[in-house]
């Protein structure tokens, strides 16, 4: 059996891996020569199913829990199991209480507990929530490692609009907004990458705010990804001045060391989402569509890739994923 997978973002790569594990010959094609500007490239890389439950449906928690072990197996050495710290400024402690009511899997920290986890935040936050079971990775390193391993294991990879050979099998479309699904809507996300030699954080930190919550994710060599925005817009233009200022202000309010940081990258992209913000698997003829990951690509791609691979290899006829929720 052979399958053509269109789209080498996180969903396409995860599906290719799941198909390969089932002894399927995989042809992978992507119109891009790299991931720059794609939703996968701009992702935070947080594997935070318990935190995401704060404003996501229950399946995000249920299906996302397994992603941590999946990524640990798929890209060994890249996963960081250090949990997630959630804090709020003194004026916004009600936001922390609200976050706690809507989530689970955390340990409540007092001021000293926050300091033990992140010494450089000493004295800045009276309490926090520690989600010990969560993890993070650098999504760019993970994408490259996954693709390299797939090619080494026999996946036929091509860049361009079409696969240069005939494939006598199913096609799996994992192309996000490019799939032109009329039920998809674009959700704009914006992020910054800062180089901050004066900041030392060991894990993702979420700073709550009633209007503009932000997360700070550590990467190699004192680089940090700063993100938060979820804007109902199809504008894929550069990051706006307003968003840049709000992201930078939030980073500075978390840790004053960000004042001397250098902005090394800004980015904005469109995330594909359905009305309920949950992914779907649909079949139309000989094409299976795996799409709608919203802001949960790295968290939910492993689970849905497994479902899609099962459907493909068993010729399952379900066309909507709601029946599998």
189 and 307, same domain (yes or no): no
191 and 306, same domain (yes or no): no
> pLDDT tens for residues 88-129?
998 999 999 999 999 999 999 999 999 999 999 999 999 999
Structural domain boundaries, residue 115: 84-132+185-273
178 and 190, same domain (yes or no): no
142 and 258, same domain (yes or no): no
Residues with pLDDT less than 70, the chain: 161-168, 316-325
Q: Is residue 69 part of a domain?
A: no
Q: What is the pLDDT of residue 324?
A: 46
Q: How many angstroms separate the CA atoms of 49 and 61, rounded?
A: 5
Which residues are CB-contacts of 154 (< 8 A; sequence separation ≥ 6)? 20, 25, 26
247 and 204, same domain (yes or no): yes
Q: What are the structure tokens assigned to 28, written together?
A: 């992978």
Q: What are the structure tokens assigned to 325, written together?
A: 């929720």
Q: Are 99 and 208 a contacting pair, CB within 8 Å?
A: yes
224 and 260, same domain (yes or no): yes
Q: Are 94 and 165 a contacting pair, CB within 8 Å?
A: no
Looking up residue 227, the CATH number of its domain turns out to be 3.30.9.10
Count CA atoms within 13 Å of residue 136 on its CB side: 26
Strand partners, 85: 130, 205
Looking up residue 172, the CATH number of its domain turns out to be 3.50.50.60
Q: Is residue 311 part of a domain?
A: yes
Q: Report CA 190 to chain centroid distance, whole Å.
A: 13
Q: Is residue 255 part of a domain?
A: yes
> pLDDT tens for residues 289-303?
999 999 999 999 999
Q: Concatenated DSSP letters for 287-318?
A: EEEEE--TT-HHHHHHHHHHHHHHHHHHT---
């Amino acid at each position: 059996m052979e399958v053509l997978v269109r789209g080498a973002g996180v969903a396409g790569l995860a599906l290719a891996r799941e198909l390969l594990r089932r002894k399927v010959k995989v042809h992978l094609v992507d119109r891009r020569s790299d991931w720059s500007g794609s939703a996968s490239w701009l992702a935070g890389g947080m594997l935070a199913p318990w935190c995401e439950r704060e404003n996501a449906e229950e399946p995000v928690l249920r299906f996302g829990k397994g992603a941590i072990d999946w990524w640990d197996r798929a890209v060994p050495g890249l996963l960081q199991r250090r949990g997630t710290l959630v804090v709020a400024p003194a004026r916004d402690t009600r936001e922390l209480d609200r976050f706690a009511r809507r989530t689970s899997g955390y340990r409540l920290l007092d001021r000293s507990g926050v300091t033990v986890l992140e010494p450089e935040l000493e004295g800045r936050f009276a309490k926090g929530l520690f989600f010990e079971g969560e993890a993070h990775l650098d999504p760019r390193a993970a994408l490259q490692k996954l693709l390299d391993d797939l090619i080494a294991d026999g996946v036929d990879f091509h860049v361009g609009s079409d696969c240069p050979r005939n494939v006598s099998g199913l096609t799996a479309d994992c192309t996000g907004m490019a799939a032109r699904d009329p039920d998809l809507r674009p959700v704009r996300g914006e992020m910054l990458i800062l180089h901050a030699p004066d900041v030392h954080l060991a894990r993702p930190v979420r700073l709550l705010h009633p209007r503009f919550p932000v997360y700070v994710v550590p990467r190699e060599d004192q680089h940090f990804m700063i993100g938060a925005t979820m804007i109902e817009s199809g504008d894929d233009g550069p990051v706006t001045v307003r968003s840049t200022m709000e992201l930078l202000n939030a980073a500075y309010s978390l840790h004053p060391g960000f004042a001397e940081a250098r902005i090394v990258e800004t980015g904005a992209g469109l995330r594909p989402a359905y009305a309920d913000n949950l992914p779907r698997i649909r079949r139309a003829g000989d094409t299976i569509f795996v799409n709608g990951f919203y802001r949960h690509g790295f968290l939910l791609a492993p689970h849905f890739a497994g479902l899609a691979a099962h459907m493909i290899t068993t010729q399952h006829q379900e066309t909507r994923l709601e029946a599998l929720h």
